[in-house]
Amino acid sequence: MFYDWHGRMAWIGRTDSGVSRQRLRERFKIDTFLYSLLDPGAKVHIAACRAEGSQTGGYIDPHWFGLSDDGEALQFRQKTDELVAAVGMKANDHLQIDCELVSPEFLRRTVEGSTGNRGLFGSKNTQKPTGTQADKRGSYTNMPFQNHTVVDFPVIARYGLHWFPQLYYGDMSPADASAVILEILRDMRAWAGANYAEQVHPFHDGLKYTTDQRDAAWFTAERLPGIFGFAAEQPVFAATLDLQKSLTRTTLREYYKDLANSA
């Protein structure tokens, strides 16, 4: 099945935010929507996206569960498998792993497993030689300027994961987009022997949206300018329009960490 990697994608930060997919399509030409696998509304929204003909799927972060240390990759893979099933993801849906601030070994074991175990996209279990989520469209995202000293470039290339480098820091201050992407492309060639130009896509801060951004993703849909329209259109949400600025990389992680802890 064809999957358009060169379109426009947005993370939906929270399904209770009131963000409109129709508005995202009409105003921003976005037609790929990823949902947190911990979001209580993810299952319903993913099914709706699929029914509408949109590309969809989920994103997940090991820090939500306190599973980002070496030795915890298998538990993170198992948690991912559990939530992928719970939200009703299907073959060819997009599964994005948000693996920043983890070791290269953690990433390697998450993606391809360790001896005798399966990873999400590969396997080192001779009895079960495919990854548990090998039928999904896999991608990887990380904070800016994470080079070969802290990321296992060969394992990303080996499984063809698309890379969405974040062009912002935790407080949403901007990173130099050209430098971030050039470093990845150069390191991929030097350390993995791969030309990755077709598989790297800018991941922009929604508040910094410009009309010439393309082949890209935005964090998050809620931060895109004008997405909620006038207060009269969304009276219930009008009082919380500050979510656009308060929903940062850091606060979203804390929100889902709290949700995981309360489950």
Task: Please write the tens of the pLDDT for every residue from 81-135.
Answer: 999 999 999 999 999 999 999 999 999 999 999 999 999 999 999 999 999 999 9
Report pLDDT digits (tens) over 214-224: 999 999 999 99
Asked if residue 3 belongs to a domain, the reply is no
Answer whether residue 10 shows pLDDT above 80. Answer: yes
pLDDT for residue 130? 97
Asked if residue 4 belongs to a domain, the reply is no
User: Any idea which residue has 């991608």 for tokens?
Assistant: 139
Distance CA 199, CA 160 (A): 8
pLDDT for residue 62? 98
Asked if residue 251 belongs to a domain, the reply is yes
pTM over 0.85: yes
Identify the domain containing residue 29 by its residue range.
10-262
Q: Who's near 37: CB < 8 A, 6+ residues apart?
A: 58, 59, 60, 80, 83, 84, 86, 87
Classify residue 118 by its DSSP letter: B
Distance CA 217, CA 30 (A): 9
Distance CA 206, CA 50 (A): 23
Asked if residue 156 belongs to a domain, the reply is yes
Report pLDDT digits (tens) over 194-209: 999 999 999 999 999 9
pLDDT for residue 228? 79
Phi/psi region, residue 25 (left: phi>0; alpha: psi -120 to 50; beta: rest), is: alpha
Q: Where are the alpha helices (DSSP H) in the chain?
A: 21-28, 42-51, 73-86, 104-112, 153-158, 177-192, 235-238, 243-246, 249-262
- Number of domains comprising the chain: 1
Distance CA 255, CA 259 (A): 6
pLDDT for residue 243? 67
CATH number (domain holding residue 17): 3.20.20
Answer whether residue 233 shows pLDDT above 60. Answer: no
Answer whether residue 61 shows pLDDT above 90. Answer: yes
The vertex-248 CA angle with 58 and 79, nearest 5°, equals 35
pLDDT for residue 242? 66
Axis-axis angle for helices 104-112, 73-86 (nearest 10): 50
Paired tokens of 86: 């719970």
Asked if residue 5 belongs to a domain, the reply is no
Name the amino acid, one letter, at 159.
Y
* DSSP-derived secondary structure for 43-108: HHHHHHHHHTT-EEEEEE-GGGGT--STT-HHHHHHHHHHHHHHTT--TT-EEEEE--S--HHHHH
